[in-house]
Each structure stands twice: as C-alpha cells, then as structure tokens.
Amino acid sequence: MGELRYVRLGFGDEAVAYLDAWEEQRRVHAARVADEVPDTCLLLEHPPVYTAGRRTLDDERPLDGTPVVDVDRGGKITWHGPGQLVGYPILRLPNPVDVIAHVRRLEEALIRTAAEFGLATTRVEGRSGVWVLGDAVQERPSPGLVLDFDPRVRTDAFDPRLSGPEYAPSNAGQRREDRKLAAIGIRVAKGVTMHGFSLNVNPDNTYFDRIVPCGIRDAGVTSLAYELGRDVTVAEVLPVVERHLREVLAEAESEARGAAEAVAPPAGLEHASA
C-alpha cells in the first residue's frame, strides 16, 4: 500500500447514485490493478438505496417490495442514504493477502474517528463493523415484556418488522442494546479491494426498520448525532475519517515493512548453501 489518494465524489444535493458509484469503483479498480493509479478512496453520500451482499437471505429484504440492488461484496443487506458517509477504499493489499486484516484496519480508522468526537466504540466478536455497546441484558429497560417472553430470545425466526416500533433497529438506543455505528462490506479481486464502509453520521435510521440490517436481529443501528445528542454533519466528519484512515494504513505499511526486514537473511547470504 502506497500513498492514499482521496476522491470526494459528491455530497448533499450532489449525492451520487449507487449504480453510478459502483461503475466508478469498477473503473478505478481496473486502473489500480493495472498500476495506472495509486491507492484511491472514493468518498460520498448516496441517495436512499438498499444494497444486498452475497449472503443476504430472502427474509432479510424489505417486506414491502422496496427495490434492492444486489452487489458483489461480502456481507448482507444494508441501507445507504443522506447523512451517511460512505467510503470505497480501492487499495492493493500486501502479500499474502489478508482480508480480515483489511477489515480490521477500516474498523480501527472509524473507531478512532468516533473517539475524536467523544464517542467510545468497539468491535463485537463475530460481527464486522463498529459498535456502541448496550447495557447488560438485566439492566435494559423492558419493552413491555419480561425477558422470558421476549420473542428475540425465544426464536431465531423473530422478525422486528412485524413486532412494532419497540423492536425496530432504529430504536436500539432507547432499549440500550448493542447498536451498529458503521457497517463494512468488501470484495477483493486480483489483490485489490472494492466496496468499503458506511458511517452513520446523522441519517434517518428508520430506513433500517424495513430490513434486517446486516442480517442481525438482536441488535440495532445508531448514529454519531444520536449518541452525542447533538447535530453532526458529514462535512464535519469527512476530514477526520480521511486523516485516521491515512494514519491506520500508514501504520500497517510500516509494520509490514518491519516484519519483512526482520525475516530477511543477512546481506551476502541470500545465495548461501548448506
């Protein structure tokens, strides 16, 4: 990974349609594979759109038939729209290619970003993305049912979309449950990454209530604005994300270089034989 170039494609009234951004991703990806451009991160907002990764199940899609764009990234279904900062880092990964390490680097940059705004976030084992942890189960407010009868702990088939707003993903903060601040879904082809992350800055999170976000039924979604209790704009967050992503990638490159030097044979012994 070399110097990272940022391209700000469009925000607000100039938000970029998802299919247009996907086509631009493919163009930049092909150019990066051919070493015609440096590592590049596309940054933008989308008009409202649902996108489904390869592992999305039919019962996780909108019940009302709202259109969904099926894409070639990993992960499941999510939503993109105004108030959400989307980043598509198109990077050549070092050999050997480590996809999980790439995901962890994206998470780390977003964790540092949230911390700079005063919000503590973390990872959740087995679930990609950046999370705000909820209270312990016994300390959460009851949605009107005792825990023993809470449908989420009685059946894997529980569907929050059929159970009223008290179970909606957008209300997870009120229930003091775990809630996702940033989602990550990627694809790696020919050693170069595509797709990336979406950070909820100040979106209308009720859009997530039509789907099962990322296929997770026992947690919800949140935003910087909700957690901080104040207005936060994408324009305010954008340069902070850029700085932390650049720092995290530079640290990873330095570590990889150091590891390679540590295992290199002493000068003059490359061709020595036993």
Provide the annotated active-site residues: 214
**Shortest CA distance to 206 belongs to which of 222, 195, 219, 186?**
222
The SS3 of residue 181 is: strand
d(CA 21, CA 130): 23
**Shortest CA distance to 89 belongs to which of 110, 117, 116, 68?**
110
**Shortest CA distance to 218 belongs to which of 269, 143, 271, 120?**
143
Residues 6+ apart with CB under 8 A from 259: none
Q: Label residue 214 exposed, middle or buried (CB < 10 Å: 0-12, 13-18, 19+).
A: buried
Residues 6+ apart with CB under 8 A from 54: 72, 73, 74, 75
The SS3 of residue 126 is: coil
d(CA 206, CA 169): 8
Greatest alpha-carbon pair distance for the chain in Å reads: 75
Contact yes or no for 83/202 (Cβ under 8 A): yes
